[in-house]
Amino acid sequence: MDIFVFGTLKSETLRTIVLGRGLAPIDVCIASIKGFCVYWAKEGPFPVMVPQESSEAHGLVLKNLSDVDVERLNYYELGFDYVLSPTSVETNVGPAEVSAYFCNNSDMATKKLWSYDDWLSDHSEIQYIAAKEFLDFFGTKYSDTAQAMYNRIFKRAEVYANEAISLGNVIEKGPESSTNIQVENIQREYLGFFALNQISLKYSQFDGDISELKNRVILMGSEASLILPYDPILDKVLLVEQFRIGPFCRGDRTPWVFEPVAGIIEVGETPEEAAKREVFEEAGIEVDQLVKIGSGYPNPGEATSYFYNYIAIVDLSEYSPGIYGAKNEGEDIRTHVADFNTVLNWSVSNKLRVLPLNTMVLWLALNKLKLPSR
């Protein structure tokens, strides 16, 4: 089968990852399809091809694809509201009858024209990492299951790519100017809601020697925004309560815990945008004012997770606590409003068992008089 591709799959690196051929050659030719135009997608750094008179979409034809090639391409493309249909294209050797992935929903597109060069320079490394993790599911999970996890996969890839860019600066601050980290092997042990990697590495020690080979298991977590809603006029805070698997599996008799509002930063979101979205989803409050109180790793010895912490300035004068949460995500969240001094007493008496919440409450105790009014 011959398939026309118009966006990210013009990249030889991405094609190799998706098709899983290694160094096996892929026969391609330059092509275009009339009556279509390619725009950036609304949901992320992806292209969307939509019908448009007097326009022409440029791409490549992947020729003589095997059945396995097509299965892998379909696994990668079809779940994102695309359909594979026959079409006619013009190639550099004449007209050809091929198939192409067409979008079922033109509303997915922005009004900004797609730029392959911009994607290649700004987003391709993230896409390569995400595609590799996504295609690890091929043959083990149904495509709709994998696609439901794609936002999380892509966000993880975004974190890894950004960390790789900054890694040199981090290493330079190690024990010696000649610091280096030697990664011997990385192996994926589990891939699901989170990912679990086993890594073997050596690194420079404070005495100047290189360590022995270290074998570590690391939870490949996500970036998240944590928010403590606070009414400075009433001096009250809003807490959320929900069941947590961690306390339950530890044997805690009360696995329903008080927490700040929190949620994973989705693809294309800033931490601030995620914070505002999560407060609305988990508490039904629209937030205009956010005060950032810090960011960092909650558990650097075991996970890559990174938290952005905020105080949300809100009006709780007419707020009615209730049950909230995104039902499509299976959330079951109950909100509570309490006097700040009461919550502070819970914190200092060790009655708040979620450490990020303790940190935020103690920060607020030190800084609440400096916060803006609502």
- Neighbouring-strand partners of residue 87: 98
Distance (Å, rounded) from C-alpha 228 to C-alpha 310? 6
Distance (Å, rounded) from C-alpha 278 to C-alpha 271? 10
Q: Which of 97, 212, 318, 329 is an active site residue? A: 329
CA angle at 281 for the pair 279 and 283, rounded to the nearest 5°: 55
8 Å CB contact between 70 and 2: no
8 Å CB contact between 349 and 296: no
Whether 189 sits among the annotated catalytic residues: the reply is no
> Left (φ > 0), alpha (ψ -120 to 50) or beta: where does 325 sit?
left
What tokens were used for 253? 């008799």
End-to-end Cα distance, the chain: 62
What tokens were used for 91? 């190639």
Amino acid (one-letter) located at 362:
L
CB-based contacts of 183-189 (< 8 A; 24+ apart in sequence): 184/213, 188/136, 189/217
Residue with the two structure tokens 């779940």: 79
8 Å CB contact between 19 and 69: yes
Alpha helices in 185-241 (DSSP H): none
Tell me the catalytic residues: 329
